[in-house]
Amino acid sequence: MISQMSWKADRTVNMMRVFLLAAIALLPAAAAAQPTATCAVEAGFSPEGSASALVLRAIGSARESIRLAAYLFTSPDIARALIAARRKGVDVQAVVDREGAKNAASRAALNLLAGAGIPVRTVSGYAIHHDKYMVIDGATVQTGSFNYTAAAARDNSENVLLASACPALARQYLEHWQSRWRQGVGWRLKY
């Protein structure tokens, strides 16, 4: 009887050891699944000026990549900032609405990007490609109502949200961006 109880106790202890070892082995995976940092979130508004300033600061902070999705793109300031990022070695790519790219200001801005070696595609598979966001370095998302236009900065009531150090959010936006990029048609310089 004692030996049978001893055997059961040994079996229970061994099962507990296996369970504890498994739990210890899973701790790094559980810790990795938890966010290691809290996203830093900032907001900007126009026509007060903070929206445009936040967009330009976000572009200037890029070290590796910028993926831009836009409905309208006519802003000379934002075009210059993207070109400057490209010149410092940042991989910049843009996808814009095809109909929104038909006016003279859009053609001029997209020609500037393409002429600087920035790949641009246009999307026509939707009533409008109404996205307005950037994914920066795979960890920062800039989004909001702000079209990348001078009018959005100067005349409209718009908002910009910048979420930094948010890789999980950035991955979701990047997946969306990649789906639109795959649907797009390459921009050819137009004069």
Residues acting as catalytic residues: 130, 132, 137
- Round to whole Å and give the CA distance between 152 and 156: 5
Cβ–Cβ under 8 Å, residues 162 and 54 = yes
Q: Determine how β-strand 120-123 pairs with β-strand 185-186.
A: antiparallel
Phi-psi region of 144 (alpha: psi -120 to 50; beta: other; left: phi over 0): left
Question: Cβ atoms within 10 A of the Cβ of 78, count?
Answer: 25
- Order of strands across the sheet with 40-46? 40-46, 158-164, 140-144, 133-136, 65-70, 91-97, 120-123, 185-186
Q: Are 77 and 153 in contact (CB under 8 A)?
A: yes
Cβ proximity of 147 and 109 under 8 Å:
no
